């Protein structure tokens, strides 16, 4: 039996992102399963690397119940981050570059020495050099932000842009820090880092599990977005967005009017 055409699906998703134009879901029609979807994701990101972008890290997706409920998918997934997706802290994005952008408050890790494939993470503070508050901008390439699990994996887990606040040494506890998402100075979402798999440190275990399964080596110096502490909120033109994480500080970005 002939499997789904990985290169063709990656091309459709890449073109949708480049032109900021939504497309219909692809998995049901092409018979895409989750493993094939990760192959599409790799091809989709390779398309970016071929035009000069650099891989700078990974993001975990759907690490909280709020996020799973928001999109109707209940499995932790991951995607790849490139340098072009990074927005300076306090920097500006153009909503016109995206289809239906949403923002969510996250915790970021700066990776240090990682265990080899199959080894336990061991001391978190050896694997992670620093932590920071972050904002992830997600943008599904599918119409109405609606997708199945293989669809969203193939679409690089809706990765589009991210901003990272100041790095700090890993604090004693990361498991129950208050999180706010503010839009134009008003609180839009309230949460806790406990929403990220009970403790954001578990996101790294999940990342290493997926790395072992898909043969990816996590690199020293990479950014690792552990996941969102709340549901995501639509990003409107002109909005000022701040993610505030207790003990870690603030990350922010602005959308052009
Ligand atoms: O980062 C995330 O949790 C997003 C994963 C994909 C689902 C979505 O687009 O909300
Ligand atoms: Mg996210």
Taking the C-alpha atoms of 163, 168, 170 and 173 in order, what is their torsion angle to the nearest 10 degrees?
-80
Question: From the CB of 136, is ligand 1 less than 6 Å away?
Answer: yes
Question: From the CB of 201, is ligand 1 less than 6 Å away?
Answer: no
Question: Does the reported pTM lie above 0.75?
Answer: yes
Q: Per CATH, which fold does 6-255 belong to?
A: Fumarylacetoacetate hydrolase; domain 2 (3.90.850)
Q: What is the pLDDT of residue 119?
A: 63
**To test the ligand 1 pocket, which listed residue (16, 22, 41, 61) has its Cβ within 8 A of the most ligand atoms?**
61
User: Which two structure tokens, joined as six digits, stand for 52?
Assistant: 């000069």
Cβ-based burial of 22 (10 A; exposed 0-12, middle 13-18, buried ≥19): middle
Rounded to whole angstroms, the Cα distance separating 184 from 81 reads 27
Rounded to whole angstroms, the Cα distance separating 117 from 51 reads 29
Are the beta carbons of 101 and 239 closer than 8 angstroms? no
Residues of the chain with pLDDT under 50: none
Q: What are the E-state strand segments in 69-172? A: 77-82, 86-87, 91-93, 102-111, 128-138, 159-164
Tens digits of residue pLDDT in 194-239: 999 999 999 998 998 898 888 888 899 999 999 999 999 999 999 9
Nearest ligand 1 atom, CA 77: 5
């Amino acid at each position: 039996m002939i499997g789904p055409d990985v290169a063709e699906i990656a091309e459709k998703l890449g073109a949708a992102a480049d032109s900021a134009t939504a497309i219909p879901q692809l998995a049901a029609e092409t018979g895409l399963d989750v493993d094939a979807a990760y192959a599409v994701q790799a091809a989709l990101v390779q398309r970016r690397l071929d035009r000069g972008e650099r891989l700078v890290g990974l993001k975990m997706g759907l690490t909280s119940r709020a996020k799973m409920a928001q999109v109707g998918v209940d499995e932790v997934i991951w995607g790849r981050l490139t340098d072009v997706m990074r927005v300076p802290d306090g920097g500006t994005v153009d909503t016109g570059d995206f289809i239906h952008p949403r923002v969510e408050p996250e915790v970021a890790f700066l990776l240090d020495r990682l265990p080899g494939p199959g080894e336990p993470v061991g001391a978190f503070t050896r694997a992670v050099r620093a932590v920071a508050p972050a904002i992830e901008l997600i943008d599904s390439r599918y119409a109405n932000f609606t997708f199945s699990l293989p669809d969203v994996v193939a679409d690089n887990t809706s990765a589009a842009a991210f901003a990272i606040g100041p790095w700090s040494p890993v604090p004693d506890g990361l498991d129950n820090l208050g999180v706010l998402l503010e839009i134009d100075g008003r609180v839009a979402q309230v949460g806790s880092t406990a929403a990220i798999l009970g403790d954001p440190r578990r996101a790294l275990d999940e990342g290493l599990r997926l790395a072992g399964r898909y043969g990816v080596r996590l690199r020293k110096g990479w950014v690792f977005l552990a996941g969102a502490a709340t549901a995501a909120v639509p990003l409107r033109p002109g909005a000022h967005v701040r993610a505030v994480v207790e003990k870690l500080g603030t990350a922010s970005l602005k959308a052009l009017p």
